[in-house]
Amino acid sequence: MPALVAIRPFRQFVMKVHSRCDLACDHCYVYQHADQSWRRRPRVMAPRIVRATAERIAEHARAHRLKRVTVVLHGGEPLLAGPERLAALARELRRSLDGIAVLDLRMQTNGLLLDDEFCALLVRERIHVGVSLDGDRASHDRHRVRADGSGSYDDTVRALRLLGQTAHRPAFAGLLCTVDVRNDPEAVYGALADVRPPRVDFLLPHANWDRPPARPYGTTDYADWLITAYERWNRDDRPFSIRVFESVEAAVMGEPGFTEALGLGTPDLLVIETDGAIEQADWLKTVAEGAPETGYHVLVNSFDEAARHPGFQARSLGIDGLADQCRACPVVSICGGGLYGHRHRSATGFVNPSVYCADLLKLIQHIQSTTPATQLLAVPPADIGALTAGGAPEHAAVLRLSKAQLDLCRSMLAYLNQAGVGSEETWQALLDLDGPDLDLVLADPAVHSWAVAACSADTSGQAVPDTEFLAGIALAAALRSGQRLKLTVPMSTPGILTLPSVGRLRMLPNGVSISSGKGIRVRTDDGRVWRADGGGAIWEPVQNFSAGGFDVSLESNTLRPTAAGSPADLAAKWRRPLEAAWAALSHQHPYQAAALAAGVKTLVLLDSEPPQNASRPPFGALALAPPGTTQDLVLALLREWQYAKFAALRDLHDLGGTGQETALREAYAHLAVARVWHTRPGPTAQDRAATWGKRSLAALDAFASETDAAPAATGLRLATEIRAAADSLIAAP
**For residues 531-540, average pLDDT:** 86
**For residues 260-277, average pLDDT:** 79
How high is the mean pLDDT of the chain?
Answer: 88
Predicted confidence at residue 183, as pLDDT, reads 97
**Is 170's pLDDT higher than 50?**
yes
> What 8-state DSSP symbol labels residue 733?
-
- Give the range among 199-213, 241-255, 364-378, 687-701 with minimum mean pLDDT: 364-378
Question: What are the backbone dihedrals phi and psi of residue 194, each rounded to the nearest 5 degrees, phi first?
Answer: -65, -25
> Which amino acid makes up residue 81?
A
Beta bridge partners of 605: 556, 624
**Conformational region of residue 679, where left means phi above 0, alpha means psi within -120 to 50, and beta covers everything else:** alpha
Residue pair 693/674 in contact by the 8 Å Cβ criterion: yes
| Element containing residue 640 per DSSP (H, E) | helix 630-652
The pLDDT tens digits for 366-400 are 998 886 544 444 688 888 888 998 888 898 899 98
**Is 517's pLDDT higher than 60?**
no
The pLDDT tens digits for 519-532 are 788 999 888 898 88
On the question of a cis peptide bond just before residue 620, with omega within 30 degrees of 0, the verdict is no
Gap between the Cα atoms of 88 and 91, Å rounded: 5
Dihedral angle of Cα 200, 205, 206, 209, to the nearest 10 degrees: -140
**pLDDT band for position 518 (cuts 50, 70, 90):** low
Predicted confidence at residue 708, as pLDDT, reads 72
Question: What are the backbone dihedrals phi and psi of residue 362, each rounded to the nearest 5 degrees, phi first?
Answer: -65, -45
Predicted confidence at residue 1, as pLDDT, reads 41
**Is 629's pLDDT higher than 70?**
yes
**For residues 251-273, average pLDDT:** 71
Dihedral angle of Cα 474, 604, 611, 674, to the nearest 10 degrees: 110
Beta strand spans in 256-352 (E): 269-272, 277-279, 293-297
> What 8-state DSSP symbol labels residue 198?
S
**Is 252's pLDDT higher than 80?**
no
**For residues 602-625, average pLDDT:** 87
> Could you tell me whether strands 277-279 and 269-272 are parallel, antiparallel, or unpaired per DSSP bridges?
antiparallel
Q: Which of 339, 86, 319 is nearest to 209 (CA)?
A: 339
Predicted confidence at residue 82, as pLDDT, reads 95
**pLDDT band for position 493 (cuts 50, 70, 90):** low
Predicted confidence at residue 260, as pLDDT, reads 63
SS3 686: helix
Residue predicted with more confidence, 678 or 728: 678
> What 8-state DSSP symbol labels residue 354?
-
Residue pair 656/715 in contact by the 8 Å Cβ criterion: yes
Q: Which of 204, 249, 242 is nearest to 222 (CA)?
A: 204
**Is 653's pLDDT higher than 80?**
yes
**Is 259's pLDDT higher than 80?**
no
**CB neighbour list of residue 69: distance below 8 Å, 6 or more residues apart:** 11, 12, 13, 57, 60, 61, 97, 101, 102, 103, 104
The pLDDT tens digits for 50-88 are 999 999 999 999 999 888 899 999 989 999 999 999 999
Gap between the Cα atoms of 729 and 672, Å rounded: 11
**Positive/negative CA dihedral, 657, 659, 664, 665:** positive
The pLDDT tens digits for 139-155 are 999 999 999 999 999 99
The string of DSSP codes covering 264-284 is SPPP-EEEE-TT-EEES-GGG
The 3-class secondary structure across 161-188, one letter per residue, is HHHCCCCCHHHEEEEEEECCCCCCHHHH
Predicted confidence at residue 512, as pLDDT, reads 47
**Is 90's pLDDT higher than 90?**
yes
Gap between the Cα atoms of 86 and 92, Å rounded: 10
Dihedral angle of Cα 644, 646, 652, 655, to the nearest 10 degrees: -160
The 3-class secondary structure across 426-448, one letter per residue, is HHHHHHHCCCHHHHHHHCCHHHH
> Which amino acid makes up residue 237?
D
